[in-house]
Amino acid sequence: MMILSIVLLTLDRVWSVIRSGYRKYVVVAMTLLFAFVSCSFSSVIWDGSEHDFTEASAVYYETERSDASLAVESEVDTETLTMSDDEDEEEDDPENISDVSTIDTVSGTDILGSLAGSVNDGISDHEDPSGEDEISFSRDDWEIVLVNKNHPIAEDYTFTLGTIKGSMKCDERVIPDLYSMMEGALADGVNLLICSPYRDDSRQQMLFNRKVTKYTSQGMSYMDAYKTAAQAVTIPGTSEHEIGLAIDIISDSYSSLNAGFGETKAGKWLAEHSFEYGFIVRYPEGKEDITGIEYEPWHFRYVGRNAAKIIAGESITLEEFWEKYL
Ligand SMILES: [Zn+2]
């Protein structure tokens, strides 16, 4: 304070000698300069102050805040790495979430309530469709189109989306059998819950990229991250969800997408009966080396009733079905 006053007085004197006519203005200017400098100092020292009087203090706070947020983020990253792996997927990645109670679902009672019994026609024809011995399959049959890491979706593949309910969509040709299955389950006391039917390509891309980024940020090389991500989220362009033939299904009494669903009443019902309606457990337990995907008792693929009956009856995968019957 004293030094500043002396400097002020000295400068004042110098100025008064040089331009005595402007002396008063110089004193005012110096005083303002002093106030300006002391303000800067004060806000830096107060630290918690939200009042940014000067540009200097604004820059100071800016730096301090970004440093603080970086510190917090890196702390979360290292300490909750394994926890966040599941948790931050919850909203967008039904393939990997642990609790679906926060995402959109539609249940058997939702659908059947709104249909008011109009699906009864569907259930009557879910019996064996025709003479089973004479059934032949073609690689061009839309129901059995093979989509996996080695067989990406053909660029000219087309289909029409139909609405299951609300924003839930899938290939419109699947819907009658899907309704029938939900009604059949309900008759057996199982209220199925659809939580992820059709996903468009950009959404699949986003889910996949997020997984890769997560693994690379943990120190994995890009190639390793890509491979690891591909075991949990289907590589974009190779997901059956993108062509509206895959539907993730759970029940209203078990809101987790994990292997445990297979042990529930609904999981068992689906494993036992879904083929009657043209659906298969697409990634069965013990077939991971063939499908390239971990066991997913909630992921159902529509293949049509004829193929489903064979696939379920022989406990094979769609890949094995292709090898044997096509
Ligand atoms: Zn799925």
Instruction: Give the CATH number of the domain where residue 241 resides.
Output: 3.30.1380.10
Residue 11 within any structural domain of the chain: yes
Q: Could you tell me if 174 and 68 lie in one domain?
A: no
Q: Residue 102: pLDDT band by 50, 70, 90 thresholds?
A: low
Residues 103 and 195 in one domain: yes
Distance of alpha carbon 311 from alpha carbon 130, whole angstroms = 16
pLDDT of residue 118: 52
CA of 134 to the centre of ligand 1 (A): 32
Q: Which of 263, 300, 296 is nearest to 279 (CA)?
A: 300
Please check whether residue 265 is in contact with residue 251, taking contact to mean a CB–CB distance below 8 angstroms: yes
**DSSP H or E segment with residue 300:** strand 299-302
Residue that the structure tokens 């090898």 belong to: 323
Last residue of a domain, one of 29, 50, 78: 78
Residue 32 is assigned to a structural domain of this protein: yes
Type of residue found at 103: I
Query: Do 302 and 279 touch, CB atoms closer than 8 A?
Result: yes
Residue 12 has pLDDT above 60, yes or no: no
Same structural domain, 116 and 205: yes
Asked if residue 171 and residue 288 are part of one domain, the reply reads yes
| Cα 47 to averaged position of ligand 1 atoms, centre (Å) | 51
What is the whole-number distance in angstroms between the Cα of residue 106 and the centre of ligand 1? 15
Q: By residue range, what is the domain housing residue 54?
A: 2-78
Assigned domain for 83 exists: no
Cβ burial, residue 250 (10 Å; 0-12/13-18/19+): buried
| 119 and 221 both lie in a single domain | yes
Residues 134 and 275 in one domain: yes
The set of catalytic residues is 296
pTM of the predicted model over 0.75? no
Q: What distance in Å separates the CA atoms of residue 201 and residue 7, rounded to the nearest whole number?
A: 70
- 296 shares a domain with 180: yes
C-alpha–C-alpha distance, residues 234 and 232, integer Å = 7
Dist. CA 298 → ligand 1 center (Å)? 7
Answer whether residue 70 is part of any domain: yes
| Gap from CA of 160 to ligand 1 centroid (Å) | 19
Distance CA 135, CA 324 (A): 14
**Any domain includes 105:** yes
Contacts of 103 (CB under 8 A, 6+ apart): 90, 91, 94, 97, 195, 196
Residues 140 and 18 in one domain: no
Count of domains observed in the chain: 2
- In the reported structure, the alpha carbon of residue 248 is separated from the centroid of ligand 1 by a whole-number distance in angstroms of 5
pLDDT for position 132: 52
Q: How confident is the model at residue 88 (pLDDT cuts 50, 70, 90)?
A: very low
Q: Is the pLDDT of residue 204 over 80?
A: yes
Listed residues 47, 78, 109: the one ending a domain: 78
- pLDDT > 80? residue 7: no
The CA 92 to ligand 1 mean position distance, Å, reads 12
Final residue before a domain boundary, out of 78, 106, 130: 78
Claim to verify: residue 137 and residue 48 sit in the same structural domain: no
29 and 107 in one domain? no
Mean pLDDT of 169-173: 97
CA of 128 relative to ligand 1 center, distance in Å: 27
The reply to whether 139 and 252 lie within a common domain is yes
Would 219 be classed as within a structural domain? Answer: yes
Cα–Cα distances (Å) from 42 to 8, 28, 37, 214, 232, in that order, read 20, 21, 9, 43, 54
**One domain for residues 28 and 136:** no
Extract the tokens encoding 257: 């997408």
* pLDDT exceeds cutoff 90 at 222: yes
Rounded distance from Cα 256 to ligand 1 centre (Å)? 13
Please indicate, yes or no, if residue 85 is contained in any of the structural domains.
no
- Ligand 1 midpoint to CA 263 (Å): 18
Q: Is residue 270 part of a domain?
A: yes
> How far is 277 from 123, CA to CA, in rounded Å?
9
The predicted model gives 124-137 an average pLDDT of 61
Indicate the range of 46-55, 205-214, 241-250, 266-275 predicted with least confidence: 46-55
